[in-house]
């Protein structure tokens, strides 16, 4: 599809909100403020039990001190291993010091 520049800008600007407006992404049942209570009420009205997560015997917590968080693949459900974590880079607070050699 080919568009003139004026038509492209017209279509693009249909998605831009006027000044002073804010886009609301989540509202209704899934609004963050009351999500848990709204979903619990919906389950009650639909006569659905609350979801339960079964723990496999191989994943049962052991008394080894601190438990590491387990991340699961959303496609196959297999546990993912943390290979490396990155430290945050500190923000630059000022211009770099001048090089004494110059």
CA distance 59 to 78: 11
Contact (CB, 8 A) for 72 and 78: yes
Predicted confidence band at 35 (pLDDT cuts at 50, 70, 90)? Answer: confident
Residue 5's pLDDT is what? Answer: 93
Report, as an integer, the average pLDDT of 40-50: 90
The full set of domain ranges for the chain reads 22-50
Residue 6's pLDDT is what? Answer: 93
* Percent of the chain whose predicted confidence (pLDDT) is above 90: 18
Report, as an integer, the average pLDDT of 38-55: 86
CA distance 44 to 29: 14
């Amino acid at each position: 599809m080919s568009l003139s520049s004026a038509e492209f800008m017209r279509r693009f600007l249909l998605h831009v909100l006027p000044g002073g407006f804010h886009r609301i992404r989540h509202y209704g049942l899934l609004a963050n403020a009351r999500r848990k209570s709204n979903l619990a009420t919906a389950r009650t009205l639909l006569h659905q039990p609350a979801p339960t997560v079964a723990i496999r015997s191989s994943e049962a917590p052991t008394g080894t001190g601190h438990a590491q968080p387990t991340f699961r693949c959303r496609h196959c459900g297999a546990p993912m291993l943390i290979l490396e974590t990155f430290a945050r880079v500190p923000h630059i607070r000022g211009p770099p010091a001048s090089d004494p050699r110059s």
